[in-house]
């Protein structure tokens, strides 16, 4: 794999840290800014909203720019946004800085996925996407725990300064190693790009992403109470177990890319099926501590094994310049799935059938994703699109 691909991984690492590290610093932020924990939690929601809105808008706005310039420009905004977070005098400024930083998220991964696939041979494109997303998994395993520790010992502002420094390094790496576009970007018609997004195969692909990832976050959002309340672990044991989850993310991400390179359609169905099976069996696994740790790792592996196939599938269904926009929309679809899954898990806990059955209910989402993917494949055949075995 070319060095330029690992430059994209470096950028993904910085973005992954800034998205998730705030979860470990809610208490510190709420105390210093004199807001409730719930209000501090809205900093996560604000970021997700920025990703969802910013991805298609910024991608469409920069459609005529050389992709390398887009990636470098996004990292400049990323560095400025994190520095603004570190300097924020109050809650409102911090929220605005978080939303500014989030605007780079979807477009970076959307355009980055297109660049990643252009750097390698056709039979390694899904693996290239998986390597880029390894930056996010490493951010979860290494960056977030270190950022949390740094913020707890030296103040939460120090964490954002550190992330800004990571972004600056990623900016230099991207500028150095990502090659210029082989051909100048053609004139982009946002109406044509939008029509490409609204084609039925693309919409079904986006819906498959939303449903698949909703199942992952329906459980992961409440993994701490499941481990402590169901499995009997102490609060201090949760962090080491989450490292096991992170290890599963890395392994599953790379495995999903390999499977998608061999047969994209089979990879989508198989990874979603395994995810549904893992979620269903977790209902029983939480009754035993060893099984709970094992299935936490399997959840990470199965959940992230779906990422590269789903991203590659949406790319394959879009056309021409619409690929960047479709790719960015799919990043927004992942975030929408996160929100739906977290909300569903909360409803199951608050209004029944209760915490113990959250994994079982979550398993419904991958099943719905498989049904949606099946409709998409059959629809594609009827519309005389590219047959699945030729993708």
- Predicted local confidence at residue 308, as pLDDT: 81
pLDDT tens column, 234-263: 877 777 787 888 788 888 888 888 888 888
| Range from 32-46, 144-158, 292-306, 309-323 carrying the lowest mean pLDDT | 309-323
User: Above 70 in pLDDT, residue 322?
Assistant: no
Separation between Cα atoms, residue 295 and residue 355, nearest integer Å = 17
Residue-level pLDDT at 193: 64
pLDDT reported for residue 162: 92
Q: Other C-beta atoms within 10 Å of 320: how many?
A: 12
Q: Specify the higher pLDDT residue, 52 or 296.
A: 296
308 vs 95, which has greater pLDDT?
Answer: 95
pLDDT surpassing 80 at residue 40:
no
Q: 188 pLDDT exceeds 70? A: no
| Residue range 83-99, pLDDT digits in tens | 999 999 999 999 999 98
Which one is predicted more confidently, 356 or 339?
A: 356
Average pLDDT, the chain: 81
Domains in the chain, ordered, with CATH? 1-183 (1.20.1250.20), 189-391 (1.20.1250.20)
Predicted pLDDT at 279? 92
Whole-angstrom distance, CA of residue 326 vs CA of residue 311 = 9
User: Degrees (nearest 5) of the Cα angle 124, 215, 200?
Assistant: 60
Q: Report whether pLDDT(343) > 60.
A: yes
Q: What are the residues whose beta carbons fall under 8 Å from the beta carbon of 361, sequence distance 6 or more?
A: 218, 344, 345, 348, 353
Which of 64-78, 175-189, 375-389 has the least mean pLDDT?
A: 375-389
- Would you say 11 and 112 are in contact if contact means Cβ atoms under 8 Å apart? yes
Confidence bin at 186 (pLDDT 50/70/90): low
Count CA atoms closer than 13 A to 272's CA, side-chain side: 26
Full-model pTM: 0.72
Q: What is the 3-state secondary structure (H, E, C) of the chain?
A: CCHHHHHHHHHHHHHHHHHHHHHHHHHHHHHHHCCCHHHHHHHHHHHHHHHHHHHHHHHHHCCCCCHHHHHHHHHHHHHHHHHHHHHCCCHHHHHHHHHHHHHHHHHHHHHHHHHHHHCCCHHHHHHHHHHHHHHHHHHHHHHHHHHHHHHHHHCHHHHHHHHHHHHHHHHHHHHHHCCCCCCCCCCCCHHHHHHHHCCHHHHHHHHHHHHHHHHHHHHHCCHHHHHHHHCCCCHHHHHHHHHHHHHHHHHHHHHHHHHHHHCHHHHHHHHHHHHHHHHHHHHHHCCCHHHHHHHHHHHHHHHHHCHHHHHHHHHHHCCCCHHHHHHHHHHHHHHHHHHHHHHHHHHHHHHCCCHHHHHHHHCHHHHHHHHHHHHHHHHHHHCCCCCHHHC
Sign of torsion over alpha carbons 220, 222, 225, 226: negative
For range 366-372, the mean pLDDT: 92
- Using CA atoms, how far apart are residues 286 and 354, in angstroms rounded to an integer? 14
194 compared with 281, residue with greater pLDDT: 281
pLDDT at 327: 73
pLDDT of residue 161: 94
More confidently predicted of 87 and 381: 87
Residues 6 or more apart in contact with residue 100 via CB below 8 angstroms: 50, 77, 80, 81, 84
pLDDT tens per residue, range 145-177: 788 788 888 888 999 999 999 889 888 988 888
| Distance, CA of 316 to CA of 43 (rounded, Å) | 34
């Amino acid at each position: 794999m070319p060095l330029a691909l690992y430059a994209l991984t470096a950028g993904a690492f910085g973005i992954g840290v800034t998205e998730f590290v705030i979860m470990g610093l809610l208490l510190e932020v709420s105390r210093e800014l004199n807001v409730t924990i719930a209000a501090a939690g809205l900093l996560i929601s604000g970021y997700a909203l920025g990703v969802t809105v910013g991805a298609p808008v910024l991608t469409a706005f920069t459609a005529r720019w050389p992709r390398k310039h887009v990636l470098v420009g996004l990292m400049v905004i990323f560095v400025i946004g994190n520095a603004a977070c570190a300097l924020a005098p109050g809650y409102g400024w911090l929220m605005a800085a978080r939303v500014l930083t989030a605007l780079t998220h979807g477009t970076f991964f959307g355009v980055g996925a297109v660049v990643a696939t252009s750097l390698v041979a056709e039979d390694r494109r899904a693996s290239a996407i998986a390597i880029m997303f390894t930056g996010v998994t490493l951010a979860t395993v290494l960056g977030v725990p270190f950022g949390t520790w740094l913020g707890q010992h030296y103040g939460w502002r120090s964490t954002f300064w550190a992330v800004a420094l990571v972004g600056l390094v990623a900016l230099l790496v991207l500028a150095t190693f990502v090659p210029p576009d082989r051909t100048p970007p053609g004139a982009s018609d946002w109406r044509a790009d939008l029509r490409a997004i609204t084609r039925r195969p693309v919409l079904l692909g986006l819906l498959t992403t939303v449903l698949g990832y909703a199942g992952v976050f329906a459980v992961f959002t409440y993994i701490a109470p499941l481990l402590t309340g169901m499995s009997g672990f102490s609060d201090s044991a949760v962090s080491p177990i989450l490292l096991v989850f992170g290890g599963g993310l890395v392994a599953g991400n790379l495995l999903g890319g390999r499977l998608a390179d061999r047969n994209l359609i089979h990879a989508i169905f198989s990874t979603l099926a395994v995810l549904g099976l893992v979620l269903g069996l977790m209902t029983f696994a939480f009754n035993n501590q060893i099984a709970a740790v094992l299935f936490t790792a399997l959840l990470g592996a199965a959940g992230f094994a779906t990422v590269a196939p789903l991203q590659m599938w949406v790319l394959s269904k879009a056309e021409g310049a619409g690929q960047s926009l479709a790719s960015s929309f799919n990043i927004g679809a992942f975030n929408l799935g996160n929100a739906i899954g977290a909300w569903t898990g909360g409803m199951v806990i608050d209004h029944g059938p209760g915490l113990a059955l959250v994994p079982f209910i979550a398993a419904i989402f991958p099943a719905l994703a498989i049904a949606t993917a099946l409709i998409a494949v059959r629809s594609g055949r009827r519309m005389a699109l590219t047959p699945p075995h030729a993708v």
